[in-house]
Amino acid sequence: MKVNREVLEQWWTKKQELENEKPPLLQRYRDALQRESMPLEQAVQKTKEELPGDEAAHEFVRRLIKQSKQLSQLVARSWFGDEVGLAIRDYFVKPYKTIDIIDATSGTKIEIIDADGRKTNKIKDADGRLKELLGADPAKQHSNEPPLSLLLNIFEKDELPLYSEYELQVVYSFSVDLNNFEGSLDDISGPSRTGDSYFNIVIPYPPRPALSNVTVTMEELEEWVQQQILDENGNVVPPIFPDNVYIPPTCC
């Protein structure tokens, strides 16, 4: 099953039905996947037993596993220090982009008063530039132009885009934590929801440790980046997290 609007809406409906249960649905998946002694398939099976018949949610978490592994590999590739790595790094340290403020009726630029009392016709899209990288699609873009060309140094065309257009517009927002080695997936829905997204993915992007046998070696970075993503049946190939604690895992 492909995760599209219909699947996500099914999952979301189910989540709302279960939101008063303890622990909530998303936390059940997270707990199952973080049982270090439990292999991936066993963790997924355990969760299925806890929530039988919830196929939309099972598909959601399978896709989340894939994306989590790919994000971690993307971070590791940016640490190589070469031209490609530095170009990827730039998306993490500068995830935002500035966009024009357009009047919805006339389609023309307009000015507003910002928080400092100054006139401006531009606003900062906090994760807009990063989303361009994560949504780079071989079906829509030239493979020799960034950001797609950067991703093709790591992933096969059939493993892209990392996130669908719908996921980027409706499901997820992204933030980058420059001081942490562990990411998170935060549920930002509910009465306090202020943006368009249901979840915020916090991507850990700390400074790369000095390469050594005590921290992480270039060989370990390369080995993780080269890890296979999917098997011939479209299932995520373990491991889903890097073995070395100095390589940041992401949202699971």
- Give me the pLDDT at residue 5, please: 43
- Give me the pLDDT at residue 8, please: 43
- Give me the pLDDT at residue 132, please: 96
Distance CA 43, CA 27 (A): 13
- 3-state SS assignment for residue 207: coil
- Give me the pLDDT at residue 198, please: 81
- 3-state SS assignment for residue 25: helix
Q: Give CA angle at 199 (130, 242), nearest 5°.
A: 65
Two tokens at 121? 């016709």
Pairing of strands 199-204, 184-187: antiparallel
Q: Rounded to a whole number, what is the distance in angstroms from the first to the last CA of the chain?
A: 21
Q: pLDDT 10s digit of each residue in the chain, 252 long?
A: 333 445 445 554 555 555 455 445 555 555 554 544 455 556 556 655 655 555 656 677 778 888 989 999 999 999 999 999 999 999 999 999 876 767 667 777 777 666 667 777 766 778 999 999 999 999 999 999 999 999 999 999 999 999 999 899 888 999 999 998 888 888 777 655 556 788 889 999 999 999 999 999 999 999 999 999 988 877 788 888 888 999 998 764
Distance CA 200, CA 183 (A): 10
- Give me the pLDDT at residue 31, please: 57
